Amino acid sequence: MTAGSLRVAAAQAESVSGDVVANVTTAVSLVGEAADRGARVVVLPELFLTGYDPDGWSAETCTSPQDPRLLPLVDVVTRHGVVVLVGAAVPWGQRWALALLLVEPGGVRTVYRKQHLTDEEKAFFTPGDGGASVVVDGWELGLGICFDGCFPEHAAAAAQDGASAYLCPSAYYVGSEHRRDLYYAARALDNGIYVVFAGLTGTCGTKEFNGGSAVYDPEGRPVARVGDESPALALADLDHAEVTRVQQLNPILRERLPGLGVRSRLTLA
């Protein structure tokens, strides 16, 4: 790694529906391996701790930052000095949020709640009401979850606020690989930033997931990517100099207009 770089790992594995203990055990193994390979930040998939199983979501299958079942994950993070971002269903108001938990040495906190929910998610979850970033070793990391990354304005908002990378843990069904590989590469190219995509794989409940975890460079090229194997890690070093170079070369971020004015329409006979 060069000075000022950041090694990240996009991790993927199967998640067991509703079994937080089993999923924490898997997460601990992935984090330990990523740390041994020099990762400072480890990103695990959407709803990894809870399981992405719409038929199985309930109060009993959810977790919270205070859940003692998460302590083994806190222990491995503390031991290795890494930062972990992992998806989970957590309480929010009178309902639940599809959230991203930050696990850091000493504890867990909720740092982001998914804003764009699919129809099946809306039945159980309440959408988040704002964006979020975390700063690790001088790197501002914008946060999204799966469907968020399908909307160009979501990653753009993070980039315009100073993010040099966009982390997007996800869960893509088998058959959607073409969309998965387009969206997140495009978000990198749109803004001249890195994108870290961590995808659920294998079977969870009745659903089948396709993995595809990857790190995309600021020109939208995969610098690390895995297929549908489980478990697996995609590791890459993020470089501030590359972000600066690409944003100077391709000025989409700074030339984006605040609005496109009034549209005209000409109807020809």
Q: Is the CA virtual torsion 102, 236, 217, 243 positive or negative? A: positive
- pLDDT tens per residue, range 106-142: 899 999 999 999 999 999 999 999 999 999 999 999 9
Q: Which residues contact 149 (CB under 8 A, 6 or more apart)?
A: 155, 166, 168, 170, 183, 184, 187, 195, 197
- pLDDT tens per residue, range 231-252: 999 999 999 999 999 999 999 8
- pLDDT tens per residue, range 151-190: 999 999 999 999 999 999 999 999 999 999 999 999 999 9
pLDDT exceeds 80 at position 41: yes
> Domain 6-255: which topology?
Nitrilase/N-carbamoyl-D-aminoacid amidohydrolase (3.60.110)
Q: What is the largest CA-CA distance in the chain?
A: 73
The pLDDT > 70 percentage for the chain reads: 99
Residue with tokens 């070369």: 249
Query: What is the pLDDT, as a whole number, of residue 253?
Result: 87
Confirm if 172 and 194 have CB atoms less than 8 A apart.
Answer: no
Question: Radius of gyration of the chain from Cα atoms?
Answer: 18
1 pLDDT tier (thresholds 50, 70, 90):
low
The answer for 205, left when phi > 0, alpha when psi is -120 to 50, beta otherwise, is left
- pLDDT tens per residue, range 213-227: 999 999 999 999 999
60 pLDDT tier (thresholds 50, 70, 90):
confident
Mean pLDDT score across all residues of the chain: 96
Rounded Cα distance, 93 and 28, in Å = 29
Output the CA torsion 71→20→100→219 (10° steps).
110
For residue 263 the two structure tokens come to: 């549209």
pTM: 0.95
Confirm if 156 and 185 have CB atoms less than 8 A apart.
Answer: no
41-43 vs 6-12, strand pairing mode: parallel
pLDDT exceeds 80 at position 2: no
pLDDT exceeds 90 at position 13: yes
